[in-house]
Chains A and B, each alone.
Chain A
Amino acid sequence: MSLNYLSIIVFLPLMAAIALALLPRMPLKLVKYIATGAASTVLALSVYLFCIFDRNASGMQFEEIYSWIPALSANYHLGVDGISLPLVVLTALLGLVAVLVSWKSENRARELFIWLLVLESSILGVFCSLNLLLFFIFWEIEVIPVYFLISIWGSGNKRSSALKYVIFTLAGSALMLVGIICMYFVTGTLDMVALEPAHGALATIAAPAMSTAPIFFMLLAGFAVKLPVVPLHSWQPDTYTDAPVAVNILLSGALAKMGGYGIIRLCVSLFPESSQRFAPIMLTLAVISIIYGGILALRQTNLKRLVAYSSLSHMGFVLLGIFALGQTALIGASLQMVSHGLITSLLFITAGIVIDNTNQPNMAKLGGLARQMPVTAAFFVLAGLGALGLPSTSGFAAEFTVFLGSFSSSAVDGIKWFTAVALLGVVLAAVYILWTIQRVFYGPAQASFDSVRDAGKLQRIYCGLLIALIFVIGICPTILTSVIQNSAAVIVSLVGG
């Protein structure tokens, strides 16, 4: 390995953003091409890594270690395993899609692309970092681009939504920082690989589950805000409703996965005893998120708000899969993270097209759009089918694996009941998705929407790409599971499930 692929992947968008920031007189067209070029290069590189990833190994791959802060014995340490690599590819893909979605943007467009690229860098950094301090830095950097993106390019009550997002995130990450500091002074290292009990350091505390429990919960708080988990979700509907579509894609598609990834990487693998001990609580929260999100989605009239609640409900499956603490369930959870990223992004894009072109976010006033915008309708229906878990879509593959895994998991008592209740979430999803399709796209065509434009050429391309991926993963999930399974096995073996 001659090149530092991961460093290039993480920092290329940032470098492009800095270049754009330093050249204020650049024509807008060039700005767009540079942003697209950077995002595509990152995607190409991450796909390349995905292809050459050694599927038989279980440890970290493509590692890079450089000395960084000797006083804390902290290294600049990057690397990916089977859990993080699919998320890196997903983020790179959604980063490109987010840039393309903003293609027609006129208002302060240069800044828009700068912040999108910074955001992409920070998310990629989180997935690649193997040092807690580095992880935390990338984790926090994300707040600023999101704040600017929502409060400048958002809609509705954008400023207060942006501030709400920031305060929730900072509160969560403040606790996480305390957790990281505690872990540092207990173990004396900030390296995630060294921290894993299998490698020794945290095990040397010889601590019973009780004394590490506060650290476990402090870390969990930061991740649960991001995921989000009820009751820490209240920022999410406002933020998703008021954010521009490009941010919706990165927030729900990639940023929310930072929460799931963090729980797997830090909570479950570093605190197996606590995870097992508190799994029933987490499973209860997961089930509540699934059902509560589903029920609230049923009651929404705003199209984007509906997608937001459906996202909350679907991320509940990720939490269910993780805290079932079984190998199949964990693979399912990882699969669900990727699948949810694709499906929710597509839902947000199509909802955005509908809202932008009709200027009407209220579903009660929409209707019969299948005639005026047939292509958009088809995209939305296909994404909706993925969301409700139709076989042959990635949604089915992921949720089925989660259910199969959690139902058969032996690590937690009463897991079968949790699984059974969570299954109701799938029924709810079917109801609100089909009802939405009916309300928005079917029924009598309204004359006022006769001049509405359908999805443009560029929009068709990236929506088509997302749909293709949803079906490819749905039909042939081994593309992903072959990468995930060894790493999942390592983590599950720690828990003993």
Chain B
Amino acid sequence: MNLDMLRPEICLAVTAVAVIAVDLFCRIKWLVNITSVAGLLASICMALLLIGNSEQSIGNGLFILDNYAIYFKLLFLGIALLVILASTDYVKRLPKLHGEFHALLLTATLGAMLTAAAHDIIAMLLSIELTAISLYALVAMLKNTKSNESAVKYILLGAVNSAVLLFGLALIFGFSGSTSFTTIAAAVSTIQVGNIADHAGLLFGLVLTLAGFAFKIAAVPFHMWAPDVYEGAPTPITLFLSTVSKIAGLSILMRFMLTAFIQTDSLINNLGIILAIVSALTMTAGNLIAITQHNIKRLLAYSSIAQSGYMLIVVAVAAIGLHSAASISNLLYYLVAFAIAEVAVFSVIIIASRNADMDDISDYAGLAKRSPLLACAMTLGLLSLMGLPPLAGFMGKFFVFSQAAQNGLLWLVLIAVVNSVISAYYYLKIVRTIWMDAPASADAVKTSLAPKLALLISCTGILLLGILPALLNKAAEWGSFLALWN
């Protein structure tokens, strides 16, 4: 067991425990924030130190250490850090749950990091559950009717989803005889192209597994939970759900597809078409329903569903074209661009609702007059999600679309660009409210230093990545390891 390769995860687990201890024995609340930020920073440093290590399996093949995993670890840690920074004021609304909030956030992040590194069905399932169970509690933390309702919904649907996922994985295990991705791949590769229909059990298991992943990333038709849960959850948790939880789902979907099922050409190609159709449905449904929303968190939930659709394009391309190296670097870029834009937008909502919920779009009327900084950050974030150059979101879309067009998915690209135009309508609706409507009150919105820092980091990221995408592309090319599997 080379556990030293799990240093970032161990550090994070220790921090989570330490946070609970500090919360228990210490009356100074901000020490909890400091502890969790310090733990995250330490974990980030340890993850950075892992770069350059040769690819190796950890714990007898349960997990794997490769650039892909390190990249996601850093991404999750970074987002978690920004979430905690942005919610320093917001957590005062949860006076008795200060420690729990931070500790559970850290364990959820830990689960996501392990998910991205999982290389075995059991490890994957446990990591996913670690994130999910932490989030069940976090969603309920506001303890009001809405929050409770969404928590119950999330737990029930999440439990059903876990069952579906488990059933699918059990079937795959039954027909391949192994829990390890590598062995499954070997078993799948013996299937003759053309008689896939003889392996109905395996196929059925695969379909159920994909449904389980689709739930995690809120892809149509498994998206229904997202708007309700996003709306009722505390806003920092909404941000966490729509970034870390979703990205973790995508990271394992991509790895599972490309390592365990890459070999049989016709199987994966057929899956690619199905994924492409799901992607088209997801973005269209998300964008169309978003138009009618008045609650900003619900609107962003649908927008986030639509974004899952764009991300699925990459997975579909990877499945159809088998261009895994380029697909992965595109996905990684898109995910970072998406995450920082979400952080910018949600941070503004978190900051604005430090005292009471500001969930209606009309609550943001005249925000530009009350706080130019918040207004600029939110506008940048929304325009980046919309895909307007020169922001990060545009470059992300450009990479994704151009690769999809090269791999014969031109129809999907056309649907995607039409969707981008549709999305402009509701994103601009918020922008218009911020800049052009008269504010209900003239009070400036108070912002303390830490949330400002989160805003500043995300806005700089949106601009910098949009203008000089080469910066991240260098980093994203690490992910090209999966090409070796072909």
Give, as a whole number of angstroms, the nearest-CB distance from B15 to chain A. 36
A159 to B435 CA separation, bound complex (whole angstroms): 12
A223 within 8 A of B: no
Q: Determine the chain B residues whose CB is within 8 A of the CB of A152 once the complex forms.
A: 435-436
B406 within 8 A of A: yes
Question: Do the beta carbons of A174 and B405 come within 8 Å of each other?
Answer: no
Q: Which of A68, A136, A143, A182 is the one whose CB lies under 8 Å from B405?
A: A182
Q: Which of A69, A140, A171, A181 is the one whose CB lies under 8 Å from B469?
A: A69
Whether A185 touches B405, Cβ cut-off 8 Å, given contacts A68-B470, A143-B388, is yes
The stretch among B64-72, B270-278, B411-419, B449-457 that forms the contact with chain A is B411-419
B425 within 8 A of A: yes
Q: Determine the chain B residues whose CB is within 8 A of the CB of A136 once the complex forms.
A: 389
Q: Determine the chain B residues whose CB is within 8 A of the CB of A170 once the complex forms.
A: 420-421, 424
Q: Which of B372, B414, B428, B432 is the one whose CB lies under 8 Å from A24?
A: B372
Question: Do the beta carbons of B401 and A181 come within 8 Å of each other?
Answer: yes
Among residues of A, the one whose C-beta sits closest to the C-beta of B406 is A185
A213 within 8 A of B: no
A151 to B418 CA separation, bound complex (whole angstroms): 24
Among residues of A, the one whose C-beta sits closest to the C-beta of B404 is A181
Question: Do the beta carbons of B410 and A174 come within 8 Å of each other?
Answer: no
Give, as a whole number of angstroms, the nearest-CB distance from B65 to chain A. 25
Question: Do the beta carbons of A151 and B436 come within 8 Å of each other?
Answer: yes
Question: Do the beta carbons of A178 and B417 come within 8 Å of each other?
Answer: yes
A434 within 8 A of B: no
Other than A137-B394, A167-B425, A178-B410, give 10 A-B pairs with Cβ distance below 8 A: A69-B469, A69-B470, A144-B383, A163-B425, A167-B421, A170-B421, A171-B418, A171-B421, A181-B398, A185-B405
Which positions 154-173 of chain B face chain A at CB distance < 8 Å? none
Question: Do the beta carbons of A141 and B432 come within 8 Å of each other?
Answer: no
A141 to B388 CA separation, bound complex (whole angstroms): 7
Which positions 59-84 of chain A face chain B at CB distance < 8 Å? 68-72
Q: Determine the chain B residues whose CB is within 8 A of the CB of A140 once the complex forms.
A: 388-389, 394
Question: Do the beta carbons of A178 and B405 come within 8 Å of each other?
Answer: yes
Q: Determine the chain B residues whose CB is within 8 A of the CB of A144 once the complex forms.
A: 383, 388
Q: Determine the chain A residues whose CB is within 8 A of the CB of B401 once the complex forms.
A: 177-178, 181
Question: Do the beta carbons of B432 and A159 come within 8 Å of each other?
Answer: yes
Q: Determine the chain B residues whose CB is within 8 A of the CB of A177 once the complex forms.
A: 398, 401, 417
A148 within 8 A of B: yes
Question: Do the beta carbons of B425 and A184 come within 8 Å of each other?
Answer: no
Question: Do the beta carbons of B405 and A167 come within 8 Å of each other?
Answer: no
A70 to B421 CA separation, bound complex (whole angstroms): 28
A166 within 8 A of B: yes
Among residues of B, the one whose C-beta sits closest to the C-beta of A24 is B372
B402 within 8 A of A: yes
B56 within 8 A of A: no
B78 within 8 A of A: no
B390 within 8 A of A: yes
A459 to B389 CA separation, bound complex (whole angstroms): 36
Question: Do the beta carbons of B428 and A166 come within 8 Å of each other?
Answer: yes
B473 within 8 A of A: yes
Question: Do the beta carbons of B432 and A151 come within 8 Å of each other?
Answer: yes
A452 within 8 A of B: no
User: What are 19 A-B pairs with beta-carbon distances under 8 A?
Assistant: A68-B470, A71-B473, A72-B399, A72-B402, A136-B389, A137-B389, A140-B388, A148-B435, A151-B436, A159-B436, A167-B421, A167-B424, A174-B418, A178-B414, A178-B417, A181-B398, A181-B402, A181-B405, A185-B406
For chain A, the bracket of interface size reads 20 to 34
Q: Determine the chain A residues whose CB is within 8 A of the CB of B421 once the complex forms.
A: 167, 170-171, 174
Whether A133 touches B398, Cβ cut-off 8 Å, given contacts A69-B473, A151-B436, is yes
A170 to B397 CA separation, bound complex (whole angstroms): 15
A136 to B406 CA separation, bound complex (whole angstroms): 19
A144 to B405 CA separation, bound complex (whole angstroms): 27
Most buried by A among B372, B399, B468, B470: B470
Q: Determine the chain B residues whose CB is within 8 A of the CB of A143 once the complex forms.
A: 388
Which positions 152-177 of chain A face chain B at CB distance < 8 Å? 152, 159, 163, 166-167, 170-171, 174-175, 177
Most buried by A among B413, B421, B473: B421
Among residues of A, the one whose C-beta sits closest to the C-beta of B405 is A181
Contact with B along A437-465 (1 / 0, CB 8 A): 00000000000000000000000000000
Question: Do the beta carbons of B406 and A166 come within 8 Å of each other?
Answer: no
A148 to B436 CA separation, bound complex (whole angstroms): 9
Give, as a whole number of angstroms, the nearest-CB distance from B84 to chain A. 29
Which positions 440-476 of chain B face chain A at CB distance < 8 Å? 468-470, 473
Question: Do the beta carbons of B417 and A147 come within 8 Å of each other?
Answer: no
Q: Determine the chain A residues whose CB is within 8 A of the CB of B468 once the complex forms.
A: 68
A246 to B388 CA separation, bound complex (whole angstroms): 24
A428 to B245 CA separation, bound complex (whole angstroms): 64
A177 to B414 CA separation, bound complex (whole angstroms): 10
Question: Do the beta carbons of B413 and A178 come within 8 Å of each other?
Answer: yes
Question: Do the beta carbons of A181 and B413 come within 8 Å of each other?
Answer: yes
A174 to B401 CA separation, bound complex (whole angstroms): 11
A479 to B390 CA separation, bound complex (whole angstroms): 36
Among residues of B, the one whose C-beta sits closest to the C-beta of A136 is B389
Question: Do the beta carbons of A141 and B390 come within 8 Å of each other?
Answer: yes
A184 to B390 CA separation, bound complex (whole angstroms): 19
A175 to B420 CA separation, bound complex (whole angstroms): 11
Q: Determine the chain A residues whose CB is within 8 A of the CB of B470 once the complex forms.
A: 68-71
A178 to B416 CA separation, bound complex (whole angstroms): 10
Give, as a whole number of angstroms, the nearest-CB distance from A442 to chain B. 40
Q: Determine the chain B residues whose CB is within 8 A of the CB of A24 once the complex forms.
A: 372
Which positions 89-140 of chain A face chain B at CB distance < 8 Å? 133, 136-137, 140
A178 to B411 CA separation, bound complex (whole angstroms): 10
Which positions 165-205 of chain A face chain B at CB distance < 8 Å? 166-167, 170-171, 174-175, 177-178, 181-182, 184-185
Give, as a whole number of angstroms, the nearest-CB distance from A407 to chain B. 40
Q: Which of A159, A171, A185 is the one whose CB lies under 8 Å from B402?
A: A185
Question: Do the beta carbons of B398 and A182 come within 8 Å of each other?
Answer: no
A69 to B469 CA separation, bound complex (whole angstroms): 7
A479 to B98 CA separation, bound complex (whole angstroms): 74
Q: Determine the chain B residues whose CB is within 8 A of the CB of A72 once the complex forms.
A: 399, 402
Give, as a whole number of angstroms, the nearest-CB distance from A485 to chain B. 34
Question: Do the beta carbons of B417 and A175 come within 8 Å of each other?
Answer: yes
Contact with B along A9-28 (1 / 0, CB 8 A): 00000000000000010000
Among residues of B, the one whose C-beta sits closest to the C-beta of A152 is B436
Q: Determine the chain A residues whose CB is within 8 A of the CB of B372 once the complex forms.
A: 24
Q: Determine the chain A residues whose CB is within 8 A of the CB of B414 once the complex forms.
A: 178
Contact with A along B134-146 (1 / 0, CB 8 A): 0000000000000
Give, as a whole number of angstroms, the nearest-CB distance from B365 to chain A. 14
Most buried by A among B383, B417, B432: B417
Give, as a whole number of angstroms, the nearest-CB distance from A322 to chain B. 26
